[in-house]
Amino acid sequence: MSVQAELDCDAVVRGFPGLPAPYVQVFSYVKPQVAGIPDRRYYLRGVALWFEVKFGKDKFDKAQYEFLEREYRAGAIVAAGDATALRALIYGPTPSQWRAPGWQLVLALKAKGFRDE
């Protein structure tokens, strides 16, 4: 994961047309980090979205996947990937339709295996 990949994702959210500036909560710079908390919590279009930034060959560690899985099972919108994946998610369907495609992004990254395996 690169800092540039995180900034690219933030730019996608901040550049969303027709919205007041969305709120971006950055967790990746909090030290010490709590294991598993995704890099970003985005608030836009009336919903909150947990987003784990992954770029290139990045993989989840188990704590990251488990956090997103727990949140998803509790009804949250979760997703993972790069700026392209995030753009496709938030610019496509309405927010009420983000949950399933966001989870599919998480499952696609899980299929790559975990960092700590």
- Cα–Cα distance measured from residue 34 to residue 89, given in angstroms and rounded to the nearest whole number: 26
Residue 104: pLDDT band with limits 50, 70, 90: very high
pLDDT at 1: 52
**pTM of the complete model beyond 0.85:** yes
pLDDT at 99: 95
Sign of CA dihedral 53, 89, 76, 11: positive
Q: Is the pLDDT of residue 39 over 90?
A: no
One of 3.40.718.10, 3.40.1350.10, 3.40.1390.30, 3.40.30.10 is the CATH number of 3-110, namely: 3.40.1350.10
Burial classification of residue 26, based on how many CB atoms lie within 10 Å of its CB (0-12 exposed, 13-18 middle, 19 or more buried): exposed
